[in-house]
Amino acid sequence: MADVALQPNTVGAAQPVRKRSGLKKALKRKSTAAFLMTLPLIILIALLVLYPAFYSLHLATLNKSMQRFVGFGNFEFLFKRDTFWLVVKQSCIFAITAVLFKALIGFIVAHFVHNIPANGQRKWRGMLLVPWVIPPAMSTLAWLWLFDPSYSAFNYTLSFFGIGPIPWTGDADWARFSVILVNVWYGAPFFMIMYLASLKSVPEQLYEAAAIDGANWWQRIWYVTLPMMRNIIAITTLFSLIVTFANFDIVRILTAGGPLDHTHIFATWAFRIGIEGSDIPLGASVSLFMVPILAVAAIFILRDVNKRGNEA
């Protein structure tokens, strides 16, 4: 009888133990642990990125007073404006030209630092990263003083060679050149540090084998370095393209979109229309036009990266 009476208690005690062991097993799984660790970041992205993105989509479908639904009316209005297509052209020229020069300069400087003895690389890395570490607004103010029409340090230096004065921010072509120059100066160190890290991972045996086969300096770069760095180059280029397209502070501080809207890009023109022009829905429509352009670039770049990953 005593044994019969104790049986139910034994079964009941075993159930919590099983539940606890099942929970421990779930927590020990790598996928569950990884999800729980990234959950705060997912929530933060949802609050700071996804919600504003969907809210801007909602704003783009409203009229200027934000009280009536107009559908694609704002986009139709933009497509009929010559200034909008000027901004599209300037944004593409600005982003593509700046990213190409940043990638080229970053690649050259990364090779320069990579060939320096190890004990001197830290000093060079620190000095070359200074433009990227300084807040863009502060560094752009310094460039604005350098481009000042009356007291430009550049024009003062060029005057010794009988050149100038150059209207750095007063002429459309020179203003475009100026904003691209500042963006390249600010962003090239990012490419440099990414390419330098990628160069460190290229096996020296590959260079030795290429040298034995008689490859010169350029052939070693073309057939060894670039193929080994292609994924890093593609990802870095995509990231920089997104950031450059969305750039605001450099153009806003340096030229404010002038002269005559010839340096406006998506971000600055959206600010001009949405904030200064008090037409928030139309400004949201301008900023949303970046999405399809960047989506197409991301699809092509990431598809190429994925293709090379599958081949490897």
Region label for 247, one of left (φ > 0), alpha (ψ between -120 and 50) or beta (otherwise)? beta
Q: Give the DSSP H or E segment for 9.
A: helix 2-28
CA dist list (Å): 137 to 19, 68, 134, 170, 186: 56, 37, 9, 20, 11
Q: How far is CA 91 from the centre of its chain?
A: 14
* Residues sharing a CB contact under 8 Å with residue 131, sequence separation 6 or more, in sequence order: 139, 185, 186, 188, 189
Mean pLDDT of 228-253: 89
Q: With beta carbons less than 8 A apart as the criterion, state whether 63 and 281 touch.
A: yes
pLDDT of the residue at 292: 84
Report the alpha-carbon distance of residue 271 to residue 48 in Å, rounded: 19
For residue 149, the 8-state DSSP code is T
Could you report how far apart the first and last alpha carbons of the chain are, in Å? 70
pLDDT digits (tens, 9 = 90+) for 193-234: 999 989 988 888 888 888 888 888 888 888 888 888 888 898
pLDDT at 3 over 50: no
pLDDT of the residue at 5: 46
Q: With beta carbons less than 8 A apart as the criterion, state whether 261 and 152 touch.
A: no
* Phi, psi (degrees; rounded to nearest 5) at 190: -65, -45
Which is higher by pLDDT, 305 or 250? Answer: 250
pLDDT at 120 over 80: no
> Which stretch of 27-36, 41-50, 238-247 has the lowest confidence by average pLDDT?
27-36
Report the alpha-carbon distance of residue 3 to residue 21 in Å, rounded: 27
SS (HEC) of 287-311: HHCHHHHHHHHHHHHHHHHHHHHHH
Report the alpha-carbon distance of residue 202 to residue 37 in Å, rounded: 32
- Per-residue pLDDT band for 11 (boundaries 50, 70, 90) equals very low
